[in-house]
Amino acid sequence: MNRYLERIYNGVVKENPTFILMLGMCPTLAVSTAAINGLGMGISTTAVLILSNIIISALRKVIPDEVRLPAYIVIVATLVTITELLIEAYLPSLYDALGIYIPLIVVNCIILGRAEAFANKNPVGLSAFDGIGMGIGFTLSLTLLGFLRELLGAGTAFGVQVIPKSVEPIGIFIKAPGAFLVLAIIIAVLNALNVKNRGKELVNGCDGCCANCAKHKAKCGEEA
Amino acid sequence: MSSLIMIIVTCALINNVVLNQFLGICSFVGVSKQMKASASLGGAVIFVLTVASAVASLLYDFVLKPLSLDYMKTIVFILVIAALVQIVEMFLKKTSPGLYKALGIYLPLITTNCAVLGVALTNVKDEYNFIESVFAGFGTAVGYTIAIVLLAGIRARIDESDLPRPLRGAPVVLLAAALMSIAFMGFGGLS
């Protein structure tokens, strides 16, 4: 397989950021109340991720190693601000639905994680495809979670009524507990199918949360 | 005064930062393995979140707003929070080694904890003044501490039970969080 396509496959299947790497849990749980919100969040994050991967990869020989994290954060925060202003201007309903989770893309571990793990040591083209793959993987996962929660919790799919109105939907699924429930069930199914995922690391210390944690992993491991 | 108490109750219980807003999930499921570590992290979060809310509120009211630069708030807040955590860490190291030993290793973790940035941005969105922002920050952090300490207690019990293999690890912790979240929905009646 061509190594650019391999990046896409890696992001969508092999290292799916949500279900395998379990990164960026906060937006995953928070905005998956409906399929369309998951899709919107996924696409916004993908846009930021592709651009940040390209910029960080292009600047990888310029940014000194000691100050790379603050530099990455400034780059990502700038891109997020641009994205936020664009969504506010052109998609006001999505802007209202996603609320503060749009600016919080800055602290989404996937973005800093890919910068640290991939973009700062690979050429621009490959990093762009890494961003595309991870972004598609994240978008599909969020849309799936949103789809399931919307179907069970409101009886609709992408806003269209699919389960007859006479069947009472299980409202809890679009409320906060539903997010934890659906994710727990998906990970349990992956475990039952023996799909290797980082669920263990997720609950056994700070491994896998973010670039900054990686730096302090040794210390965290001691305590946790 | 009563409105300030209401802000604390709302932030700590009704809109619990982890169980209702989903902020700080990484450390919530990651560190809750041990009661002692959870309580220490909670302490560190209370400290940082209160200070960060105060600083962010002052910055927004006296710098960003007068210069009509409020679209810069995300960039400014994240940098200020990162710098602030570093300063707090150095300050604690110098002045109270005991406290630093208890909270120190959690401080860097908090920089990327989305709860800190989340609270700063929510305070701006809700147009809280300085005092209200400080109380909201404190209340949110108390809510975080309550949630993580409770989960640590539940996980101590889970560890002793014999679970079906697929449920071990992350799924059962998320299920426990789901049940806690349902319980916390009951506080909605307070508002």
With beta carbons under 8 A apart, name residues in chain A contacting B24.
26
With beta carbons under 8 A apart, name residues in chain A contacting B117.
103-104, 106-107
Element (H, E) at A7: helix A3-9
ipTM: 0.88
Tell me whether residues B170 and A172 touch, CB distance under 8 A.
no
Give per-residue pLDDT as tens, B62-95. 999 899 888 899 999 988 888 888 888 888 888 8
With beta carbons under 8 A apart, name residues in chain B contacting A104.
23, 114, 117-118, 121
Least confidently predicted of A79-88, B98-107, B147-156, B167-176? B98-107
Does A163 map to a domain? no
Asked if A212 and B109 count as a contact pair (C-beta separation under 8 A), the reply is: yes
Report chain B's mean pLDDT, rounded to a whole number.
87
Using the Cα atoms of residue A61, residue A62, residue A65 and residue A71 in order, give the sign of their dihedral: negative
Give per-residue pLDDT as tens, A78-91. 999 999 999 999 99
Does A164 map to a domain? no
Tell me whether residues A25 and B25 touch, CB distance under 8 A.
yes
Model pTM score: 0.89
Does A138 map to a domain? yes
Alpha helices (H) along B126-169: 130-159
Does A53 map to a domain? yes
Nearest-by-CA chain B residue for A213: B109
CA B185, B187, B191 angle in degrees (round to 5)?
A: 115
Q: Give the count of domains, chain A.
A: 1
Least confidently predicted of A7-11, A171-175, B99-103, B137-141? B99-103
Does A137 map to a domain? yes
Give one DSSP letter per residue of B156-169, joined into a string: HHHHTS---GGGTT
Asked if A104 and B116 count as a contact pair (C-beta separation under 8 A), the reply is: no
Does A146 map to a domain? yes
Taking the C-alpha atoms of residue A135 and residue A155, their distance in angstroms, rounded to an integer, is 28
Does A144 map to a domain? yes
> What is the domain range of residue A216?
3-158+169-223
Question: Is beta strand A160-161 parallel, antiparallel or unpaired with respect to A156-157?
Answer: antiparallel
